[in-house]
Structure 1
Amino acid sequence: MTTQLKPTLGTLHLWAIAVGLVISGEYFGWSYGWGVAGTLGFLVTTLLVATMYTCFIFSFTELTTAIPHAGGPFAYSRRAFGETGGLVAGMATLIEFVFAPPAIALAIGAYLNVQFPHLNPKVAALGAYVLFMALNILGVKLAALFELVVTVLAVLELLVFMGVVAPGFSISNFVLNGWSGGEHFGLPAVSGIFAAIPFAIWFFLAIEGAAMAAEEAKDPKRTIPKAYVSGILTLVVLAIGVMIMAGGAGDWSKLANINDPLPQAMKMVVGEHSSWMHMLVWIGLFGLVASFHGIILGYSRQFFALARAGYLPAGLATLSRFQTPHRAIILGGVIGIAAIFSDGVVNLQGMSLTAAMITMAVFGAIVMYIMSMLSLFKLRRTAPDLARSFLAPGYPVVPAIALCLAVVCLIAMVWFNLEIAGIFLVFMLVAYLYFGATKAQRNAAAPDTMLSGD
């Protein structure tokens, strides 16, 4: 049984994975932030989160190039803090990557429902899972080529969106009631800014997932830095541009708390029957598909790496004849589909299912970001001879900024989402109990010198 992934991906493929993993966040999800903070409050939140992500990616790249492992954050934290550290980072990453796809699948269903009102969005979401799990199983090179094509189309579509709504843009529309929403404890503006954190993170969530393709990258020490730096710059420009242009297109309050804000914003400018409107719906699906498809690749590699190291059942590390972790791909899909059809059964904090899935994914992401930055500082001290082809610029200030902002985000997330935070903690405790009961399984796993440092 082989458990070794093959390097087939170049810089452009890795850029497409990094951007494609995230780009659905520009198409939906973020507008829920307007509902709690208003446009101006959410703009402040987004700028803070963009700062965190920029500092994080420049720091995270040092880890990815030094330890090009399919486990990504799991591998860095295990190398820095031992098996328990690996568990915390690995399970947090898994929660992030397993709960993000259901939200995206529901958005795919919502976009298709615009064109086909009789199509049940949940049925469309189920179809998306089946289709893209199959594509991922057929091989990483094919999957990465598809990701490249849809990512480029998705980026172009966002530029087209901004160009089409520009004639109808008005700054007065954007700032009207811009500090509304989020009234908590008599501090509407400040509390709204913090309450909106998960939806600003959604703009950038999962860019770190490209690290999980590191074992499949050609010359990762050279290709990964180029992909990450160009990727985060691409996403920051698109996120700010899309948010401002959509908010200035008309009454932004009608775009808050819906899964298809861009088609609805365009409708305000060009009308419901414009060919531009229908083009956005169809091509806009490429953005959702790019992230959905890419995150399936990401969660499968995390399952694979944890199983290969003995943290999960060894069967999840089995590769298909296409050299892909097919069992891991299918398991993540089953969990995601179950989450989609839990709507109406599970009601978290009065949120829509999409908002709840986004928030759960963000909890995983923030914990993983904190563990990654702590690993960077620890490995600088304990593994000074580790080959580092890319050094975090401005060390230790830049990673410290990322770490501090991530901690602030986690505190705010817990404060405003106690119920979801409790469920996240239960997931982590269950994982720890399994971890404690399966030491023999980890001892029997094949040694990994990249994790042990031997």
Structure 2
Amino acid sequence: MMSSPLSGTANVPPARSSDHVHSAQGTTLRRVLGLPSLVFFGLVYMVPLTVFTTYGVVSANTGGRTSLAYIVTLAAMIFTALSYAAMVKVYPVAGSAYAYASKSFGPSIGFLAGLALLLDYVLLPLVNYLVIGIYLNILFPVVPAWVFVVACILLVTVLNIVGIASVARASNIIVLVQFIFIAVFVAIAVAFIFSGSHSIDLAAPFVGDGGKNVTFPALMTGAAVLCLSFLGFDAISTLAEEAKNPKRDIPRAIIIATVGAGLLFLVLAFISQLVFPGTAFKDPVSAASEVMAKAGGDFLNIFFIAAYVAGATGSAIASQASVSRIMYSMGRDGILPRRIFGTLSARFKTPVISILVISVISIIGVNANVDLLFSVVSFGALAAFSVVNLSVIKRYLWDEKRRSGRDVLLYGVLPGVGFLLTIWIWTSLTASAFTIGLIWLGAGFVYLLFMTKGFRKKAPEVEFSDSL
């Protein structure tokens, strides 16, 4: 039997490096985060302005029905967020979907769920860096976009190595700046909409612009891409070992962040579509800049870029923090090489090696296609979300044999609906994203076969404690 996640995996040889030790040697993640910090962490991960990251792409894909696509996505995410809240009460540990699937269905399924999460978490920082480069290059065209990307990677890496407390402090400031911008944007945009300069069609954000993409499959494809906007609630669950009261605060933070951010995304998308009806953008990736320029001229556009870059930087900080902890959890269990990924810095108490690996991957991907990255990130997220919904049913109704009407509703019907919705949206992704995602999972399955000698050997597993 293994030890609890706070003490690490038992009988693990000490790390050779004097600066890195395995958690079994007494190095643990620090419990410093309360409910406000957890909610803000989730919000900054999702980025209140993330609606503008995918706004142009989703508008083009759905024929101008981004608001309706957000409604579809939010419905699925609320059910899944409830499933996360239910599982974190049982397993308040780092590892997210990987931990929940491991304890519900065994370490092999847990590994594949963790691998799906790794796909989106590894790529999400890269998405943020690339968009930062695109928008800063609009302001400073003489500076190549890759220069901004590399500079941001270095900043984010340093902040994550120093520790989660610094990340939380930075997150608070970033969220505040974005909410100030949102208030200014809404005021200016509403004034523009009702200025009489053009006709208003309040139904347009839901019925579309009449183009070829105004179909139900196109709507679901757009909704699938928008799932990357909601990764913040999963990110919150990865901080369970750094929360002061994880069983109480993590579930609350997950629900607050999901519902709050979802409603905010919906409102901002609705207002943006009224400002700039249709989908005739010069560049869908940077379409938000056109919306801002039309509503408030250069002032609003520059303010937007500044606030957006700050938000995207915060999201990169949060996403890198989360994926490094997932890799640490998998390394601690022996799923990934333990001496590399299952160690914490003795000085900073953070998974430094995992943080550096993510930074290197981001630098390698500076020329990646942003549109495709959106869909691939959503592929990993939706696959993991589906497994978490099933984990609730397995844990509460099957393992604990709960059979009351309330239990069947909370731990059977709700996660069941969440599972069906996530699978429906998942299968609506583009063929390219599906191909890349399946190749990734296929490679992981081959690796799992190698580790388990064709499943003759059980995959490594930690005995998570539920006594916190």
TM-score, normalized by length of structure 2? 0.85
1:385, CA displacement in angstroms? 8.9
1:261, CA displacement in angstroms? 3.3
Q: Distance in 1 between matches of 2:147 and 2:451?
A: 38
Q: Distance in 2 between matches of 1:22 and 1:256?
A: 26
2:200 counterpart letter in structure 1: I
Matches within 5 A, 1:211-222: 211-222=237-248
Spell out, residue by residue over 1:395-417, the C-alpha distance to the aligned partner (whole angstroms, 9 max, x if none). Answer: 4332222111111012212xxx2
1:213, CA displacement in angstroms? 0.7
The SS at the match of 2:114 is helix
2:46 counterpart letter in structure 1: V
Matched, 1:234 2:260: yes
The SS at the match of 2:173 is helix
Spell out, residue by residue over 1:251-283, the C-alpha distance to the aligned partner (whole angstroms, 9 max, x if none). Answer: 4424485333333212102223x3x33222212
Aligned to 1:38: 63
Spell out, residue by residue over 1:378-399, the C-alpha distance to the aligned partner (whole angstroms, 9 max, x if none). Answer: 001344299xxxx897443322
Matched, 1:171 2:196: no
Q: Distance in 1 between matches of 2:432 and 2:147?
A: 28
1:360, CA displacement in angstroms? 0.7
Query: Any conservation in 2 of the 1:78–1:85 contact (CA below 8 Å)?
Result: yes
Aligned to 1:350: none
1:232, CA displacement in angstroms? 1.4
User: Any gaps of 5 or more consecutive residues in structure 2?
Assistant: 1-20, 194-198
Q: Distance in 2 between matches of 1:6 and 1:382?
A: 34
Aligned to 1:55: 79
Q: Distance in 2 between matches of 1:227 and 1:26?
A: 20
- Once the two structures are overlaid, the 10-residue window that deviates more, 401-410 or 331-340, is 331-340
Aligned to 1:253: 279
Spell out, residue by residue over 1:31-82, the C-alpha distance to the aligned partner (whole angstroms, 9 max, x if none). Answer: 2111111223x33322111101112112211112221111111000000111
Decide which of 176, 190, 196 is 2:222's aligned counterpart.
Answer: 196
Query: Any conservation in 2 of the 1:35–1:256 contact (CA below 8 Å)?
Result: no
Structure 1 residues 102 and 36, CA, compared in 2 at 3 Å: closer, same or farther? same
Matches within 5 A, 1:283-432: 283-314=307-338, 315-320=340-345, 321-341=347-367, 343=368, 353-384=369-400, 394-413=410-429, 417-432=430-445
1:155 counterpart letter in structure 2: F
Structure 1 residues 152 and 163, CA, compared in 2 at 3 Å: closer, same or farther? same
Aligned to 1:2: 22
Aligned to 2:6: none
Q: Distance in 2 between matches of 1:181 and 1:25?
A: 25
- Once the two structures are overlaid, the 10-residue window that deviates more, 253-262 or 142-151, is 253-262
Aligned to 1:450: 464
The SS at the match of 1:421 is helix
Structure 1 residues 358 and 206, CA, compared in 2 at 3 Å: closer, same or farther? farther
Matched, 1:29 2:72: no
Q: Distance in 2 between matches of 1:250 and 1:134?
A: 39
1:231 counterpart letter in structure 2: A
Decide which of 129, 132, 137 is 1:108's aligned counterpart.
Answer: 132
Query: Any conservation in 1 of the 2:64–2:273 contact (CA below 8 Å)?
Result: yes
Q: Distance in 1 between matches of 2:79 and 2:212?
A: 27
The SS at the match of 1:412 is coil
Matched, 1:264 2:264: no
Q: Distance in 2 between matches of 1:234 and 1:6?
A: 27
RMSD between aligned alpha carbons? 2.6
Aligned to 1:151: 175
Structure 1 residues 115 and 366, CA, compared in 2 at 3 Å: closer, same or farther? same
Matched, 1:140 2:164: yes
Query: Any conservation in 2 of the 1:174–1:247 contact (CA below 8 Å)?
Result: no
Decide which of 413, 429, 436 is 2:449's aligned counterpart.
Answer: 436
Matches within 5 A, 1:116-131: 116-131=140-155
Spell out, residue by residue over 1:106-131, the C-alpha distance to the aligned partner (whole angstroms, 9 max, x if none). Answer: 11112212221112222211221111
| Percent sequence identity over aligned pairs | 21
Q: Distance in 2 between matches of 1:79 and 1:393?
A: 22
The SS at the match of 1:319 is strand
1:331, CA displacement in angstroms? 0.7
Decide which of 32, 48, 65 is 2:89's aligned counterpart.
Answer: 65
2:327 counterpart letter in structure 1: F
1:434, CA displacement in angstroms? 1.9
Query: Any conservation in 1 of the 2:224–2:426 contact (CA below 8 Å)?
Result: no
- Once the two structures are overlaid, the 10-residue window that deviates more, 284-293 or 7-16, is 284-293
1:194, CA displacement in angstroms? 2.1
1:32 counterpart letter in structure 2: V
Q: Distance in 2 between matches of 1:148 and 1:380?
A: 36
The alignment of Structure 1 onto Structure 2 pairs a total of residues equal to 428
1:373 counterpart letter in structure 2: N
Query: Any conservation in 2 of the 1:75–1:451 contact (CA below 8 Å)?
Result: no
1:449 counterpart letter in structure 2: E
Q: Distance in 2 between matches of 1:406 and 1:449?
A: 29
Query: Any conservation in 2 of the 1:98–1:299 contact (CA below 8 Å)?
Result: yes
1:223, CA displacement in angstroms? 1.2
Structure 1 residues 104 and 444, CA, compared in 2 at 3 Å: closer, same or farther? closer
Aligned to 1:95: 119
Structure 1 residues 333 and 19, CA, compared in 2 at 3 Å: closer, same or farther? same
1:316 counterpart letter in structure 2: F
Query: Any conservation in 2 of the 1:174–1:244 contact (CA below 8 Å)?
Result: no
Q: Distance in 2 between matches of 1:392 and 1:92?
A: 28
Query: Any conservation in 1 of the 2:64–2:277 contact (CA below 8 Å)?
Result: no
TM-score, normalized by length of structure 1? 0.87
2:72 counterpart letter in structure 1: L
The SS at the match of 2:427 is helix
1:377, CA displacement in angstroms? 0.5
Q: Distance in 2 between matches of 1:263 and 1:59?
A: 36
1:2 counterpart letter in structure 2: H
Structure 1 residues 134 and 267, CA, compared in 2 at 3 Å: closer, same or farther? same
Q: Distance in 1 between matches of 2:179 and 2:281?
A: 21
The SS at the match of 2:85 is helix
1:365 counterpart letter in structure 2: A
